[in-house]
Amino acid sequence: MARNSNRSKTGFSVWAVLVFIFLWLPIAVMVLFAFNQPSASSLASNPGVDPCSLPATQIGNVSVWNGFTTCWFPAALHDPTYIPAIITSAQIAFIAAAVSVVLGLMAALALARMKPRARIPFDILVYLTLVVPEIVIAVASLIFFVQAHNAVPFFPQLGFWTIVLGQIVFNSSLTMLIIRARFVGMGDTLEEAAFDLGAGPLATFRQVTLPRLMPAVFSAFLLSFTFSFDDYVLPAFTNGTTNTWPIVLYSAVRFGITPAVNALATMMLLLTVAAIVITVVIMRRSRGGSTDGVAKNFAALGV
Amino acid sequence: MTLDTAAPAPEANASGAGRRRSFKPRYPAWLALPSLAYQIFFFLGAMSILVVFSFATQTGFNEITYGFSLEQYKAVLDPTYLGIFVRTLAMAAGGTLLTVIIGYPVAYWMARYLGDKKLIALLLIIVPFWTSFLIRTYALKIILDSNGFVGQTLHLDLMYSAWAVGIGLVYNYLPLFILPVFSSLERMDWTLIEAANDLSAKPFSAFRQVTLPLTLPGFVTGALLVFIPMTGEYVVPAILGGGKYVFIGNVIGDAFNSAQNPPFGSALAISLMLALSIFVALYILVATKEERFGS
């Protein structure tokens, strides 16, 4: 029996390692191809030119390995479209996440301990916003925003703000569910104690509820930010003339990409990994070496 | 802001069931109003206009006549579009099945065998997710390129094939399945499996009769989290399918972008939601059948 279970453990481990390789292979390829040169024929026909200053149309096929160079990294940082698009995306994601967390937190506080009957209509609405395919929400929002602007002139034109408004629909449902799950899970005895001790609702919220909800609030913000920042479909239909990072990436992938894109993505990956390592180290220290709670917080990101 | 005291006054309870709580502190219900108003305005509002548009007709460039015309829905029933519907649902179902087959053992392995190294495994799954999915899909394109490594050494020309689209779908949605299944497996009491083994259950029947029913909610959630966005997928078929395997999402997008026929696109979008709800309802019915008979 014991040998049998050992064998199945090995089988599972091999499978898991293969899947992890599958998950990371494209990332490795992305990093590797950030160091890719323009094709040999392109280099030959542009002698004496900085190879990384060539436009996408003149660098030949960069989906195959042509040789090593590091020049795409400085080129990417000076690109006139990439950096502004990344900044725009970060601004949109930040505003959408902040508003979604506030809306989601308020709704979670109200709904968590409400009678199921009163809660169900709201729940249905929330789940609907999550299960309707994004392409459907995207085209519906497009029509809605155009009509709204035609009817009410001060409603924003298609652009930065319509992307934010559209993303809050999905993101506030997401943040509400994450925060509510935590709020329901932690019980209400401490709130009761605070109330017994004469704390008003606002003080109870500030001193009891919010501090304990912080990990969930943080997870919700992070997840919401990530979804917004990486979102292509909704912004592609409601952007007007605003360029977000995924929109720039999509047209690069479709109509001509340079390794500068890989270079930027590689730098962003490094920043992310650094942020994670720092977070894990800080959380570990503050919890006396246990990673169990950290694992749970990260698991909460997925559900 | 007031905390309502929902239950009767404390003294009413003091004598009776002592375990009953004296009152339940509650945050006021109106806190849900801003969120509710937002969803009604921006979500239900947009969806209603979509329905109105689907019954309208395109009468010229940027000109729409409202009414109650079923013309767009008749156009949706054209064999070309029905074929794309069938392909979309079939490929999303196939992609979900592949995701389940690939992802479930990983979630199981993490929950059962990893002990205190779970965090590392979780990070290894989540971090690729934080690189733009467009770049990851592009990297897949490099890998599958017929002039690249797979094409030249393994002589597999996968680029712009149904397999390329399938790989792209599985790749992008795998974490969305692994994470909820992992969190439901993690809450499982593994001594139950030991008990089943002691009662001489074979490993597979222990899995089928104990593990699977106990983790069914996570399983159903994970599969839906993967299947639903796959049916609406827009980017993967466009980049990895090379125009040969368009999904219904691409046709909807085109109706708004290049074809300039929003009413038709709206009818397609409504039809997609109808098809999806039927599919999801059937799935939930079948997936929870065993559980309902069991209890």
Core vs surface per residue A184-213: b (16+ CB within 10 A) or e: eeeebeebbebbeeebebeebbeebbeeeb
Of B168, B214, B166, the residue nearest B191 (C-alpha): B214
Nearest chain A alpha carbon to B144:
A63
Of chain A, the percentage scoring pLDDT greater than 70 comes to 92
Quick one: pLDDT at residue A55?
84
pLDDT band at residue A105 using 50, 70 and 90 as cut-offs = very high
Quick one: pLDDT at residue B112?
86
Q: Is residue B63 part of a domain?
A: no
Rounded Cα distance, B114 and B126, in Å: 17
Stretch among A73-82, A259-268, A271-280, B226-235 having the lowest mean pLDDT: A271-280
Nearest chain B alpha carbon to A303:
B180
Per-residue pLDDT reduced to its tens digit, A78-92? 888 899 999 999 999
Considering the domain architecture, whether residues B49 and B75 belong to the same structural domain is answered as no
Considering the domain architecture, whether residues B102 and B247 belong to the same structural domain is answered as yes
Chain A closest CA to B294's CA: distance in Å? Answer: 25
Considering the domain architecture, whether residues B273 and B148 belong to the same structural domain is answered as yes
Q: What is the mean pLDDT of chain A?
A: 87
* Binary contact (A299, B42; C-beta < 8 A): no
Considering the domain architecture, whether residues B186 and B265 belong to the same structural domain is answered as yes
* CATH number for the domain whose boundaries are A82-257: 1.10.3720.10
Among candidates B50, B113, B234 on the partner chain, residue whose Cβ is nearest the Cβ of A143: B50
Sign of CA dihedral A99, A279, B120, B118: negative
Environment class of A233 (CB within 10 Å of its CB; exposed 0-12, middle 13-18, buried 19+): buried
Quick one: pLDDT at residue B15?
41
Sort out which chain A residues have CB atoms less than 8 A from B99's CB and list them.
none
Among candidates A29, A134, A165 on the partner chain, residue whose Cβ is nearest the Cβ of B232: A134
Helix (H) or strand (E) segment spanning residue A278: helix A259-286
Q: Is residue B61 part of a domain?
A: no
Identify the bridge partners of residue B26 per DSSP, sorted by sequence position.
B4
Give me the residues of chain B with pLDDT under 70, please.
1-25, 149, 288-295
Helix (H) or strand (E) segment spanning residue B26: strand B25-26
Sort out which chain A residues have CB atoms less than 8 A from B178's CB and list them.
302
Q: Is residue B167 part of a domain?
A: yes
Helix (H, G, I), strand (E, B) or coil at B57: strand
The domain spanning residue B112 has which CATH number? 1.10.3720.10
Considering the domain architecture, whether residues B273 and B241 belong to the same structural domain is answered as yes
**pTM for the predicted model, two decimal places:** 0.86
Asked whether the predicted pLDDT for residue A303 surpasses 50, the reply is: no
Q: Is residue B60 part of a domain?
A: no
Among candidates A103, A147, A194 on the partner chain, residue whose Cβ is nearest the Cβ of B34: A103
* Binary contact (A230, B29; C-beta < 8 A): no
Q: Between residues A284 and A119, which one has the greater pLDDT? A: A119
Asked whether the predicted pLDDT for residue A138 surpasses 60, the reply is: yes
pLDDT band at residue A179 using 50, 70 and 90 as cut-offs = very high
Considering the domain architecture, whether residues B125 and B213 belong to the same structural domain is answered as yes
Asked whether the predicted pLDDT for residue A5 surpasses 80, the reply is: no
Domain that residue B256 falls in? 71-294
Considering the domain architecture, whether residues B279 and B208 belong to the same structural domain is answered as yes
Considering the domain architecture, whether residues B129 and B47 belong to the same structural domain is answered as no
Structure tokens at B25: 């502190």
In chain A, where the domains are located: 2-44+54-77, 82-257
- The domain total for chain B is 2
Considering the domain architecture, whether residues B81 and B35 belong to the same structural domain is answered as no
Environment class of A63 (CB within 10 Å of its CB; exposed 0-12, middle 13-18, buried 19+): buried
Q: Between residues A121 and B268, which one has the greater pLDDT? A: B268
Q: Is residue B181 part of a domain?
A: yes
Asked whether the predicted pLDDT for residue A286 surpasses 80, the reply is: no
Instruction: Provide mean pLDDT across the span A239-248.
Output: 94
Rounded Cα distance, A56 and A73, in Å: 15
| Chain B contact for A204 (CB, 8 A cutoff) | yes
pLDDT band at residue A117 using 50, 70 and 90 as cut-offs = confident
Chain B closest CA to A100's CA: distance in Å? Answer: 9
Residue for token pair 């065998």: B113
Considering the domain architecture, whether residues B115 and B227 belong to the same structural domain is answered as yes
Quick one: pLDDT at residue A9?
84
